[in-house]
Homo-oligomer: A and B are copies of this chain.
Amino acid sequence: MAGAATAFPCSAQVGGCVKVRSEHKEWNESGTMSETYVHGYHPRENERLQDQAGTLVDLLHSDTAYPGGSTVLEVGCGVGAQTVTLAQRSPDARFTSVDVSADSIAEAKRRADRAGLTNVEFRQADIFALPFNAESFDHVFVCFVLEHLSRPVAALAIVKQMLRLGGTITVIEGDHGSTYFYPDSPAAHAAIQCQITMQREAGGNALIGRQLYPLMVEAGFDAVRVSPRMVYVDSSRPALVDGFTRKTFTAMIEGIRESAIAAGLIEPESFDAGVQDLHRTTEADGVFCHTFFKGVGEKGRQPE
């Protein structure tokens, strides 16, 4: 099971590797993060991202649709896993999807072409240096981005500048601390904790999902409403057992094995026992729970 990690190009790079989560974006936060690992262009990584997007798409996106003619800025589109869903669900809206990685943008373009999308423009851009005029978008969409940033409120404030007055923002983030399962396993929690620790040490926050509400409020959005999107998996839901527990979450933890061990966070035997226990939850009597959080807010019309 550890073999998969070494096939990931990030295996020797902690700063990048801990960002192997769900979707993958990387920002040069005004130079504060010097490592810029690009996800998504490796075939196996692509496959895993695709698995996840297919499994979670309804849970995360079913209530997001943009009116015809409206303009939507997607920041941190990565390889376009969410972009295709977004653009297909709002075929008459016009999307501008940016990512800091040229390779990811290239792959996202290929993916959009394969899907036959004509309403998306891709651009390479840093969230802290967006090449757009202020108030030039009706909506902003941010998915699995804030978890990687050391200054998430600053990032939200910047994308808020891009919004027209009365525009909306949609933010989706996971939360590794929301993960629990049956049979319970201290070893599995220890393996997950490695990911949380590594992401924290890289300047990110793997527990950011629960924090969406205060972050969005602090960034100045109005009418903020956050709702949890819990993935509940038992053996009566075999597509989730395979697509989420096994191929998304456990695969993600497996992917940090070498980095976690190299960082001295855990012994190989302990890590492997934890991963084994995560796989144990996919058996007939197993249960797995993980929660994403989705927040929406408005850029209020300020008094003149």
A contact residues vs B (CB 8 Å cutoff)? 175, 177-178, 180-182, 184, 207, 210-211, 213-214, 217-218, 224-228, 230, 232, 234-236, 284-287, 289, 291
Contacts and interface: CB of A to CB of B under 8 A. Distances in A.
Contact of A236 (B177, B210, B225): B225
A270 to B, nearest CB: 21
The 8 A-B residue pairs with the shortest CB-CB distance, nearest first, are A214-B285, A213-B234, A228-B232, A182-B210, A182-B211, A210-B287, A228-B230, A230-B230
A181 B178 CA distance: 10
B234 A226 contact: yes
A213 B180 CA distance: 15
A287 B208 CA distance: 11
Give this chain's copy count: 2
Contacts of A180: 175, 177-178, 210
Given A180-B210, A182-B210, A207-B184, A289 B228 contact: yes
Contact of A289 (B285, B287, B291): B291
A287 B184 contact: no
A229 to B, nearest CB: 9
A117 to B, nearest CB: 33
A210 B225 contact: no
Contacts of A210: 180-182, 287, 289
Contacts of A214: 182, 234, 284-287
Contacts of A178: 180, 289
Most B CB contacts (10 A, CB to CB) among A178, A210, A232 go to A210
Contacts of A207: 182, 184
A207 B287 CA distance: 12
A224 to B, nearest CB: 7
A211 B232 CA distance: 12
A227 B232 contact: yes
A300 to B, nearest CB: 15
Contacts of A226: 232, 234, 236, 287
A214 B233 CA distance: 12
A235 B236 CA distance: 35
8 contacts: A178-B180, A178-B289, A180-B210, A181-B210, A213-B234, A214-B234, A226-B232, A226-B287
Nearest to A217: B285
Contacts of A284: 214
B291 A230 contact: yes
Nearest to A183: B211
A224 B213 CA distance: 35
